[in-house]
Amino acid sequence: MEAYIEERVLETAAYIIDTGATVRTAAKQFGVSKSTVHKDMTERLRHIDKGMAKDVASVLETNKEERHIRGGYATYLKYKGAK
| Domain edges within the chain | 3-82
Tell me what pLDDT residue 50 has: 97
In this prediction, residue 60 carries a pLDDT of 96
- CB distance 80 to 36 below 8 Å: no
Residue 34 CB partners (closer than 8 Å, separation 6+) = 23, 24, 27
Q: What is the pLDDT of residues 29-80, one digit of tens each?
A: 999 999 999 999 999 999 999 999 999 999 999 999 988 887 888 888 889 8
DSSP assignment of 28-76, as one string?
HHHT--HHHHHHIIIIIHHHH-HHHHHHHHHHHHHHHHHHHHHHHHHHH
Q: Is the pLDDT of residue 81 over 80?
A: no
Answering whether pTM is above 0.85, one says: no
pLDDT of residue 71: 82
Decide: 13 and 52 in contact? Cβ < 8 Å: yes
